[in-house]
Amino acid sequence: MRGGDHEFTLESYKKLFESLYPQLCVFAYKYLNDLEISKDFVQEVFVKVWEDKITFQNENHATGFFYKAVKNKCLNYLKSKQYKATERYELANIEAYETEEFYMSEAVVIETTAVINKAISQLPEKAAQVIRLSIEDYTNNQIAEELSISVNTVKDHKKVAYRKLRDFLSFLTVK
């Protein structure tokens, strides 16, 4: 497929929604501490972007836009009279929430968690178990013990997993 302008259809908007919506809900939850309101807000952002015919240059741009839009919506709500009237309002929290550091670290943690989860979900079950433990800093010996398999089998599973994930994890590094 080549670059250039693509007509954005309901179908491709659905793909975008499915690739971003779960993370954005969890992200909003970090500000609002209420999953139902979080879902509503994220859905409203998706409706608005469609109605306003906003376009994106690429995936990075689209992802960044949605995180930022959801953040702004959450902060506006936290500062609103409606919220102050109904909830315990803690000024200190709002200030922490408004920092770029809170925003970026939450967004990156959630997005990275989603990317890892998606990558692992493409692996065969055993290899997925090995990688999950490996991510939690289990050594090969500990993984072998935990799953009642040999250390060599652990290494084989890792090899299979890295091979399979190679296309997913494009990279360039010095040998």
Partner 1 sequence: MGHSNKIKPLSKTLAASIIKNEIPGDLEKLEIFDEKIKGQMLTDIKASERLKLLKEIDAEKDWKTVKEKIQGSRNPYRFWAYGVAASVVLLVSISIAFVFNNINETPSFEAPIIVNNNIEVGTNKATLTLEDGSAVTLEKGTDYQTANITSNGEEIIYRNNQKAVTNNYNTLTIPRGGQFYILLSDGTKVWLNSESQLKYPVAFKDGETRQVELVYGEAYFDVSPSTDHKGAKFKVLNQSQEVEVLGTEFNIKAYKDEANVYTTLVEGKVAVSTADKNQILVPNQQSNLNLETHTISLAMVDVYNETTWKDGIFSFENKSLKDILKVLSRWYDMDVVIENMVQTEERFIGTFNKSNSIEDILIAIKSTNFINNYEINDKTLTIK
Contact code string over 129-168 relative to partner 1, x by CB under 8 A: --xx-xxxx-----------------------xxx-xxxx
Instruction: Using CB under 8 A, pick the residue from 117, 141, 150, 152 that binds partner 1.
Output: 117
Please answer whether residues 69 and 49 qualify as being in contact, where contact means their C-beta atoms are separated by less than 8 angstroms. yes
Q: Could you say whether residue 125 binds partner 1 (CB under 8 A)?
A: no
Query: Which of 76, 80, 113, 141 is close enough to bind partner 1 by CB under 8 A?
Result: 113
Residue 174 binds partner 1 (CB under 8 A):
yes
- CB contact burial 87-122 (16+ within 10 A = b; e otherwise): eeeeeeeeeebeeeeebeebbeebbeebeeeebbee
Distance CA 75, CA 130 (A): 40
Q: Which stretch binds partner 1 (CB under 8 A): 11-19, 76-84, 89-97, 144-152?
A: 11-19
Site for partner 1 in 92-111 (CB under 8 A): 100-101, 104-105, 107-111
- Do 122 and 164 form a contact (C-beta atoms < 8 A)? yes
Is 79 one of the binding residues for partner 1 (CB under 8 A)?
no
| Closest distance of CB 15 from partner 1, Å | 4
Q: In the window 44-73, what residues touch partner 1 (CB under 8 A)?
A: 46-47, 50-51, 53, 55-65, 67-68
List of residues 6+ apart from 114 with CB closer than 8 A = 22, 23
DSSP letter assigned to residue 54: -
| 34 near partner 1 (CB under 8 A) | no
173 contributes a contact to partner 1 by CB under 8 A: yes
User: How many other C-beta atoms can be found within 10 angstroms of the C-beta atom of residue 14?
Assistant: 10
